[in-house]
Amino acid sequence: MEIAIILSVSVAFGMNLLQANQTEERKGVSFVMPGRKTFLSLLLLTPLIGLILPGRALSASLPPGGGKLPATLHARSDEFLFRTARSYFKGGHDRLALQAVNMLLKDHPGSILQGPALLLRARIEARRSIRRGDRDFKRPLALFRQAEKAPPPGWDKGEVLFRMGQYLVRKRFGVEGRGLLERLRSENPQSPWSYRALLSIADSYREKGDLPRAEKRLLMADPERFPVPVSKDDRLRWLYLAGHLKLDRGDILGAGEDFLAALSLSHDYPYAHPEALFLLGRYAYRAHHDLRAVTLFRRFIRLFPNDSRLSLAMYYRARLSGRLGHPDREKGRLRELTMDEPGTPGSHMAKIRMVAMTFPEKSPPKGAWDRTLLSRSLSLLERIAQEETHARIAQRASLLRISLLSRAGHPNQALRELIRISEGVDPRTDFGRRLEALKGQVTLARALALTHPLRPHRLIEVYRVSRREIPPPSDPSSTPLYIALARAYRKTGEAEKANLLIDNVLAQATNPTLQDQAARRKFSWLLADGKRGMAMNFALVRAEDAASSPTLREGWFDSALKEAVAGGDAEGERRVLEAWEDSGVPEKDPDRQRARLGLLEIDAGKADRGRRLLLEALPGLEVRPDAKAELAESLYRLGEMAREEGDLTTARKDWGKFLECCRGNPQGGWVMYQLGQAALSEGRQDEALDWFKKTVKGYPGQDVAKLAGMKITEITLEKRHDEP
């Protein structure tokens, strides 16, 4: 294992050194440094080489066709069969490993390797279960328990609990898995697997997101404080886990220190190798760990003044000055570099950077750039591209030159230059991919320059000619073109193509603002086509998109609500208000909307939810003079519900509030009539007669007044009949 780690680090160093001689700016170099990509690349490389190492020894025992084990193995010793099975297992050959294990269990029933063999069989089944994603985990657990009970009693069964706990954790049964690992630590504290169980518990908490508990377990496993001596392999595991935890915490610097400490145990310390130290600085720079990058590059310049990468280290040191808020110091260092180290890669990079700073990425207004300065800069970039021996630096100069031509209003010349330098370039390379992306941008600029909003046919023609070079709608720079193109199709009468194109923009656009513009365009088209219901549903779908910003979602909720109200769609209005209520997006008028939703819920048969919403809305409505209509409707409906449920006390209370605030409301007559009916049902004829008279007086000519008059006549006749 130690040899595998050393070789993996050596290969990472060698690959990085080879690329450093050919390139200035790289992606995905395998080297341990503050950064998730680098750590994962080394982590993946280490087991790969670890598998390659035993490959030669293992290949001798592999069958020629890879089908079955040789028949001669049946006569071999139990130790040979176990070693063979374990080798196959480490190489990933589960089927062959299982055959060897079964031979051992069958041919050597009394062997002391019965327990380890059963454990290996359980591990094979567990690995198969994890790879297949099986939900049933009973069989692997049964095999683990069988291995735990296997004779002889004296063999160390700590590994059984460790492997079983790890298996449960990987199957997302973290509590049960950690319980087994804790059991291992309590029952077998002297087992060599006890320390690894503690690390596994910490890692399980880390994966769960419980970092405090993970750090607590990690502190308990500190090799310097652990009561039992810790092996070198376990010390490395502790360091890498510590670094991983710090990465999760966001402490990239501390994680880098842990990774470097781990490397120091298995390889020469990086500061003894200039390529390693330079790469550490590069990764710190790319990960925006500026202070650490400054320290690393400063040490590189001091320790290795004769290294070929010195000018590049000085260049990055200058760039870091700008990142740290000193743009003038950055420019000064770049100028100093061009004078002190002329013709070096770092000097060329400094010149490219100075040109980029002079002409920023955002295209200026026409004529804003000095033409003489632009011409000199273009000549300088062309000279660097021709003289520089580092391909990446020359390519960067060429790309910047073409970009400048395009942004300066010369897309045709930029396109010609792009075609010229693209000859013989493999499109699968990084430079080829950059050229393709730049070609799309230049073609896009050319297309936009040749278009006019009042000439849709011309825009469509330009798109048909150069559609292969234009970036997809997922590129924010091209999204406006596709929106304009959809509008052009709409103007020319090709509505189907317009809708298809705008749907593609909605599906692929990555810029939220541009995506919202496309959605608004489609929404307006649906309304223009008279599809109000589809427009409402589309707006509701946009509003329910949790990935969108609350401001945009609020606008879509408002649009959907307006269309539902305008179309008289009560069910649609209820859906919109309910979704708005549950979304957490700030409501435009929460009290009114909650009251309206409550009324709609009652109409839909959800009386309890409707009553709750109305009661929540009442305090806000009562203090707002402009919400009298909503308050009256809410109080009236609450009283009606209470009356229907036989709760006349609550009904009188709600209706009394109604008459206090909203006596002139058209429903006031029905409220008075119902109060009279309630009094009459309880035998209070005088009170009922008073309410009926108020109804007739307050709402003359209405149906409710006629009913109240009939009640007055009925009560009067009853009174006369009862008189002696």
CA-wise closest residue to 613 among 645, 641, 585, 581 = 581
Flag whether pLDDT at 34 surpasses 90.
no
The CA-based angle 234-237-242, given to 5 degrees, is 130
Taking a C-beta distance cutoff of 8 angstroms, is the pair 218, 241 a contact?
A: yes
Q: How confident is the model at residue 373 (pLDDT cuts 50, 70, 90)?
A: confident
Flag whether pLDDT at 485 surpasses 90.
no
Which tens digit of pLDDT belongs to each residue from 60-109? 334 333 445 555 544 578 888 888 888 888 777 888 988 888 888 888 88
Ordered by start, the domain boundaries in the chain are 73-155, 157-230, 666-724
pLDDT at 43: 34
The string of DSSP codes covering 221-265 is T-TTT-SS---HHHHHHHHHHHHHHHHHHT-HHHHHHHHHHHHHH
Flag whether pLDDT at 293 surpasses 70.
yes
Give the separation between CA 501 and CA 508, rounded to whole angstroms.
Answer: 11
Which positions ≥6 away from 126 have C-beta within 8 Å? 140, 143, 144, 163, 167
pLDDT at 62: 41
pLDDT at 42: 37
Residues in the chain: 724
Helix (H), strand (E) at residue 489: helix 479-491
Q: How confident is the model at residue 428 (pLDDT cuts 50, 70, 90)?
A: low
Q: How confident is the model at residue 337 (pLDDT cuts 50, 70, 90)?
A: very high
Which pair of structure tokens corresponds to residue 654? 């709600």
Q: What CATH number has the domain spanning 73-155?
A: 1.25.40
Flag whether pLDDT at 13 surpasses 70.
no
Flag whether pLDDT at 404 surpasses 80.
yes
Q: How confident is the model at residue 367 (pLDDT cuts 50, 70, 90)?
A: low
Q: Hey, is 133 helix, strand or coil?
A: coil
Taking a C-beta distance cutoff of 8 angstroms, is the pair 599, 637 a contact?
A: yes
| 3.40.50, 1.10.10, 1.25.40, 1.20.1740: CATH of 157-230 | 1.25.40
Alpha-carbon separation of residue 215 from 35, 168, 190, 241, 497 (angstroms):
20, 21, 23, 10, 58
Say what percent of the chain tops pLDDT 70: 78
Name the one residue in this structure whose structure tokens are 């108020």.
694
Which whole number is the average pLDDT over 619-643?
A: 76
- From the CA atom positions of the chain, what is the Rg in Å? 39
Flag whether pLDDT at 590 surpasses 70.
yes
Flag whether pLDDT at 598 surpasses 60.
yes
Which tens digit of pLDDT belongs to each residue from 128-180? 887 676 777 788 888 888 888 887 665 677 888 888 888 888 777 878 888 88
Taking a C-beta distance cutoff of 8 angstroms, is the pair 274, 304 a contact?
A: yes
The CA-based angle 256-257-261, given to 5 degrees, is 115
Taking a C-beta distance cutoff of 8 angstroms, is the pair 591, 617 a contact?
A: yes
Biggest alpha carbon–alpha carbon distance for the chain: 130
Gap between the terminal Cα atoms of the chain: 116
Are 73-155 and 157-230 the same fold in CATH? yes
Give the separation between CA 685 and CA 716, rounded to whole angstroms.
Answer: 10
Note the helical H segments in 133-210. 138-148, 158-170, 174-187, 193-208
Give the separation between CA 9 and CA 263, rounded to whole angstroms.
Answer: 8
Note the helical H segments in 509-626. 512-528, 532-543, 550-566, 570-583, 590-603, 607-622
CA atoms within 13 A on the CB side of 355: 28
Which pair of structure tokens corresponds to residue 442? 């230049």
Which tens digit of pLDDT belongs to each residue from 647-706? 777 777 877 777 777 766 777 767 777 777 777 777 777 777 777 777 777 777 777 777
CA atoms within 13 A on the CB side of 153: 0
Q: Hey, is 544 helix, strand or coil?
A: coil
Taking a C-beta distance cutoff of 8 angstroms, is the pair 88, 48 a contact?
A: no
Which of 112-126, 270-284, 614-628, 699-713 is predicted with the least confidence, judged by mean pLDDT? 270-284
Which pair of structure tokens corresponds to residue 723? 């008189």
Identity of the amino acid at 693: K
DSSP state of 466: H
Which positions ≥6 away from 69 have C-beta within 8 Å? 63, 84, 96, 99, 100, 103
Give the separation between CA 108 and CA 617, rounded to whole angstroms.
Answer: 80
Average pLDDT value for the chain: 76
Flag whether pLDDT at 45 surpasses 50.
no
Flag whether pLDDT at 5 surpasses 60.
no
Taking a C-beta distance cutoff of 8 angstroms, is the pair 609, 625 a contact?
A: no
Which positions ≥6 away from 64 have C-beta within 8 Å? none
Which pair of structure tokens corresponds to residue 22? 């050919």
Which pair of structure tokens corresponds to residue 360? 């920023």
pTM of this prediction? Answer: 0.42
